[in-house]
């Protein structure tokens, strides 16, 4: 199909994805958001979660943690603060990390507690993607 949009996924350290795709689903700030050809110009904040890129029968999975997405003229740019490929995630390591995090003593400091919560959330989402069967 010719109706494809070009999509670039970037982190400050690397280019994770740069190709034409049919359909993209991103984890926006509150809920998932899908993009097809001829999407209206949009800018959105990103949350923590999965980014799915559909090209024909192929689906690429990425994990993103915060950032922004912009689409205009069928050019989509995802600027993530941190991002990982599905292959880079190991379910076993993440399970261990999650159990370490949840079993650790309760932080007294409110800021620390908040950061711990964010870390747990990130690990959960990473784990979810790592365990995902194709």
Can you list the positions of beta strands (E) in 36-118?
A: 42-55, 58-72, 75-85
Q: Return the residue of 1, 2, 3, 14 that touches another protein, per CB under 8 A.
A: 14
With contacts defined by CB under 8 A, name the span among 12-20, 48-56, 87-95, 103-111 that binds another protein: 12-20
Report if residue 77 touches another protein, rule: CB under 8 A: yes
Please, which of residues 32-51 interact with another protein by CB under 8 A?
33, 40-45
Q: Return the residue of 49, 52, 64, 67 that touches another protein, per CB under 8 A.
A: 67
Q: How far apart are CA 28 and CA 68, in angstroms?
A: 8
Q: How far apart are CA 22 and CA 24, in angstroms?
A: 7
| Angle, alpha carbons 32-18-20 (nearest 5°) | 75
Report if residue 111 touches another protein, rule: CB under 8 A: no
Residue nearer to another protein on the CB measure, 80 or 94: 80
Report if residue 70 touches another protein, rule: CB under 8 A: yes
Question: Contact 46/67 with Cβ under 8 angstroms?
Answer: yes
Strands 75-85 and 31-35: unpaired
Residue nearer to another protein on the CB measure, 13 or 105: 13
Sign of dihedral through CA atoms 122, 124, 126, 129? Answer: negative
Return residues touching another protein (CB under 8 A): 8, 10-15, 28-30, 33, 40-45, 67-68, 70, 72, 77, 79, 81-82
């Amino acid at each position: 199909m010719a109706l494809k949009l070009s999509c670039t996924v970037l982190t400050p350290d690397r280019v994770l994805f740069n190709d034409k795709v049919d359909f993209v689903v991103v984890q926006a700030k509150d809920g998932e958001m899908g993009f097809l050809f001829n999407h209206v110009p949009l800018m959105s904040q990103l949350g923590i979660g999965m980014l799915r890129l559909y090209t024909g029968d192929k689906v690429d999975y990425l994990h993103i943690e915060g950032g922004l997405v912009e689409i205009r003229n069928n050019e989509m740019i995802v600027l993530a603060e941190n991002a990982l490929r599905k292959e880079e995630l190991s379910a076993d390591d993440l399970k261990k990390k999650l159990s370490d995090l949840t079993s650790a003593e309760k932080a007294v400091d409110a800021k620390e507690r908040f950061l711990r919560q964010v870390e747990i959330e990130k690990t959960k989402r990473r784990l979810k993607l790592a365990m995902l069967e194709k």
